[in-house]
Homo-oligomer: A and B are copies of this chain.
């Protein structure tokens, strides 16, 4: 059974987090997870090949944003909201709010 590295909250780095979220695809994944949790990777693919999606999830995990747990055949992803909140209070909420401001049509 495959296991993933998930950094401890105290080891999360802001630059790594911001970098992970600066990619529109990854930000979209985080937003979808925020709306519906946990989810496997498949419904979040958005037409990309599996290898690309897998790469983006690895970046999100390394930043500490997403936790992936193996549940049978599927890998369930969720946001690490509590750990993120303990490390950087209010940050994720502010970024998610900014993201939803952005895609309101002008």
* Nearest CB in chain B: distance from A100 CB, A: 10
Q: Which of B16, B87, B94, B102 is in CB contact (< 8 Å) with A94?
A: B94
A39 contacts B by Cβ under 8 Å? no
Q: Given the known A-B contacts A19-B19, A22-B19, A22-B22, are A14 and B90 also in contact in the complex, defined by CB atoms under 8 Å?
A: no
Asked if residues B98 and A91 are in contact (CB atoms below 8 Å), the reply is: yes
* A: number of interface residues (CB 8 Å): 26
Nearest B residue to A99 via CB reads: B14
A18 contacts B by Cβ under 8 Å? yes
A71 contacts B by Cβ under 8 Å? no
In the complex, what residues of B have CB within 8 A of residue A89's CB? 97, 101
Residues of A within 8 A of B (CB): 10, 13-16, 18-19, 21-24, 27, 87-91, 93-95, 97-99, 101-102, 106
